[in-house]
Structure 1
Amino acid sequence: MDLGSHSTLNDHLQKTGIPSGSQEKVSVLDSGPEMAEPQSVVDPVAKSNLSVKAPEFYPPGYNQNFNQNFTDSSFEDRCDGYLTLAEYVQDFLNHLTAQPGCFETEIEQFAETLNGWVIADEALQELVELIYQQATSVPNFSYMGARLCNYLSHHLTISPQSGNFRQLLLQRCRTEYENRDEATKGDETTRKQFHAFVLFLAELYLNLEIKGTKGQVTRAEILQEGLRELLNALFSNPVDSNLICAVKLLKLTGSVLEDAWKEKGKNDMEEIIQRIENIVLDANCSRDVKHMLLKLVELRSSNWGRVHGTTPHAEATPENDPNYFMNEPTFYTSDGVPFTAADPDYQEKYQELLEREDLFPYYEENGAELSGPGELYFDEIDDEMDPEIEEAFEKFCLESEHKRKQ
């Protein structure tokens, strides 16, 4: 080794904190053809203030791997003292929002964990509020939130004097329900929050199962009457946003509500349709909203788009009932292709949808970015086209098809 390389080595040792006169041997990596003879390596003794007993650190916003956490057999190991009930539940709700396909595989472990944690009235109240807020503030989570509520209503063991999970959930919904008249006349923000509640209650009506005295499964009849009154409130103040919410509610639950009313010999749906027709004639709503209302009347006249002669609800499965997935939410891929839970690639496509919303945030007309991809969820007019635009689009499609065949 020449003097130059010796000087370089000394500089390197000084930078790494090893004195040039140290007897410790260091391996020198040389990329040249004349590799020095391998020498043993002795690591310098490092001093550290770190402790193996220090609590685990999780940066803000960090999402744990729930697939691993919920298969861990030890409750103490999962929580380890660093999570509160609110944080644990909120993490799971966010996880379900991002990966709805994990519901079936992870809900049982989630419920078991809650049974070991939720042992007081206050904790149960907090759990109900967390789920309610997620279901009414996160776009497209109302359906998943209703499924979650149904599962917990049957599997949570705590039943204090103040009420079990389902009773507290319905009490929370009643608070919003009693303010329906004021909410439909409120400002834009108030109405938007109320509309989110209405659609969540509709999902609860479809998904919340009540076991009768003879073991039969029925829907919560109190929600059926509640939805009827909510429709009355929306129609009583027929501004565009209220009418759009009413249309979405009836598209989601109209067939089920009408069947239930007919079984009781009631003609509530006839009254609702008559009221819609009067609104189309008299109300000062926009042309697009009137078109939506007429399309809804048309849908109802076709028996809500259902196939006749299907399997009874109690025996229905995806294989034997073509209407099985009819009331499930419909999403669209980046190519505009619709998909629901009936699609075998549902989870993959839904994840793609979420990622696309994260990459392309919505903007208001003045260019200000909204707080999240769901801000326009209840503001959108509808997926129906204006009649003139629809006619022009059909003409364009016919011309394109004709040119393609030439």
Structure 2
Amino acid sequence: MNDSFDRAPGAGRTRNLPADPGLAGGAAGDCETKTTLFNQREPLRQPRTSPPFAENNISTANVVGGGDFKRQSKPQQSTNADSTSASTGCNEVDSLVKSSKLSASAPEFVPSGINTYEDPSYYDDDDSSYYGEPTLADTVKGFLAHLSSSPGSFESDVEHITGMLNSWVTTEELLKELVELIYTQSTAIPNFSYTGARLCNYLSHHLIVSPPSGNYRQLLLQRCRKEYEQRDVAVRGDLETQKKFHSFVLFLGELYLNLEIKKPKGPPSRANILLTALKDLLISLFSKPVDANLICAVKLLKLTGSVLDDTWKESGKPHMEELIQRIENILLDATCSRDVRQMLLKLVELRSSDWGRVRAAAAASNATPDNDPNYFMNEPTFYTEDGTPFTAADPEYAEKYQEILDRQDYFHDLDGENGNEIYDSEDEMEPEIEEAFENFCLEAERKRQQ
């Protein structure tokens, strides 16, 4: 028992150990034990790459005994097979690399299944539209689009725009191009004629360049004259021609209202040459009384009718009466649509009421509801219990307003009864309350002294 049980540390743990595998003359039992222990170990994973030298593997196998050499022969065969396949794969990759047309220094990679097209002018050195600075046309269209989308920023942006144009437009050719660009955009962009006319007026006074052919205002009027001379042909043209002509007519009306000509003495005046042009344009529109022409004439008269009427009356010319007579004849004879006929009737009524203007209002001290139509303009609007509005112009205004005041006093009294009324701390107390308060203070002082 003592032989089989040893209390010494580590005793008995070295029993039945296998012999050194390097010995050639191992016993049979030791070989069996060695085989059993070797089989219990986990199989080694094969290397991903082949061994660097085959001679080392062979020499290592010769050191191992006969039985071990047999056991190592199968892994060795698989290793050799992997080495052969790896070398074969490397040879195939080398052949592909040698035959490939790909290059690491190529600017880009494009798969073979994609067809590409390159514009020869895209990389042309003379193409200044891509690499160069923006042109005058691009710049003008850009800030005109900005003013069209944000007309309220005109006052804050027009000075910057003018300064930019002064540094850019320095020759006669550029000035003519600028005039053409602004005219085209002012007649092409919907509802931009008013802002375009204001811009033209500002540039006519602040643009520095002034070639011998004329300044900005003179070149602009020359451009407008080209369209004016084609008026009789345009009113009888196709729909597209008429549309462009109508845009020009409305822009010229805005230009007449906004373009100012400074004088050496006195306030600036309007361009009288445009006054004559507008009369001739209206006559041309009424000479071909189709719906589109009549609608354009109505829009122009609503826009400029009061100013034209006053100017012609001051000079003693009956041009407005002649135009109104033409409209009345069209209402009798022309075969226009019902809506256009109604528009013409409303225009005649508008002119008979002096274009909707109130000439002279009474002075504030002498104004009464009878002599001043604006007497109740600034009066507040009240509402009855059922939601009916009434103002000071209502005959029952005094009675209804007194009902509102009585109702307010009633609710004020209710608030006071409920204790919600706020008193001023500086108000004097009534005599009875003051006497009672003094007696209370004396009684409280007497009790405190006892």
TM range (shorter): 0.5 to 0.7
Per-residue CA deviations over 1:127-173 (Å, capped at 9, x if unaligned) read 11111111101111000000000000000011101110000100110
Alpha-carbon distance in structure 2 between the residues aligned to 1:211 and 1:81: 40
Say what the alpha-carbon RMSD is for the aligned residues. 1.7
Match of 2:241 in 1: 190
Match of 2:202 in 1: 151
2:144 to 93, 97, 101: 93
Asked which structure has the greater RCO (Cα within 8 Å, sep 6+), the reply is: 1
Alpha-carbon distance in structure 1 between the residues aligned to 2:263 and 2:311: 16
**1:262 corresponds to 2:313:** yes
2:213 to 162, 183, 191: 162
Aligned AA (1:158): V
Alpha-carbon distance in structure 2 between the residues aligned to 1:291 and 1:100: 32
Match of 1:118 in 2: 169
Alpha-carbon distance in structure 1 between the residues aligned to 2:174 and 2:357: 43
Alpha-carbon distance in structure 2 between the residues aligned to 1:170 and 1:306: 31
Q: How many residue pairs align between the two structures? A: 235
**1:132 corresponds to 2:186:** no
**1:291 corresponds to 2:342:** yes
Aligned AA (1:184): V
Alpha-carbon distance in structure 2 between the residues aligned to 1:99 and 1:110: 14
Gaps of 5+ in 1: 1-48, 50-79, 311-402
Query: Which structure: larger Rg?
Result: 2
Match of 2:418 in 1: none
Following superposition, the deviation at residue 82 of structure 1 comes to 1.9
Aligned AA (1:104): E
Match of 1:57 in 2: none
Match of 1:389 in 2: none
2:265 to 214, 233, 236: 214
Per-residue CA deviations over 1:287-344 (Å, capped at 9, x if unaligned) read 111111010000001110112138xxxxxxxxxxxxxxxxxxxxxxxxxxxxxxxxxx
Q: What is the SS of the residue equivalent to 1:166?
A: helix
Q: What is the SS of the residue equivalent to 1:158?
A: coil
**1:242 corresponds to 2:293:** yes
Per-residue CA deviations over 1:227-279 (Å, capped at 9, x if unaligned) read 00000000000001000000000000000000000110111111111110010
Per-residue CA deviations over 1:14-43 (Å, capped at 9, x if unaligned) read xxxxxxxxxxxxxxxxxxxxxxxxxxxxxx
Q: What is the SS of the residue equivalent to 2:261?
A: strand
Aligned AA (2:262): K
2:284 to 230, 233, 236: 233
Which contiguous aligned blocks of 4+ residues in structure 1 show a shift greater than 2 angstroms? none
Alpha-carbon distance in structure 2 between the residues aligned to 1:82 and 1:287: 54
Following superposition, the deviation at residue 215 of structure 1 comes to 4.0
Per-residue CA deviations over 1:165-224 (Å, capped at 9, x if unaligned) read 000100110000000000000011100110000000000000000112324210000000
Percent identity between matched residues is 66
Alpha-carbon distance in structure 1 between the residues aligned to 2:199 and 2:252: 13
Following superposition, the deviation at residue 117 of structure 1 comes to 0.8
Written as runs of structure 1 = structure 2, the 5 A alignment for 1:5-404 is 82-309=133-360
Per-residue CA deviations over 1:336-384 (Å, capped at 9, x if unaligned) read xxxxxxxxxxxxxxxxxxxxxxxxxxxxxxxxxxxxxxxxxxxxxxxxx
TM-score scaled by length of structure 1: 0.56
Alpha-carbon distance in structure 1 between the residues aligned to 2:167 and 2:210: 14
Match of 1:64 in 2: none
Alpha-carbon distance in structure 1 between the residues aligned to 2:354 and 2:132: 55
Alpha-carbon distance in structure 1 between the residues aligned to 2:200 and 2:171: 18
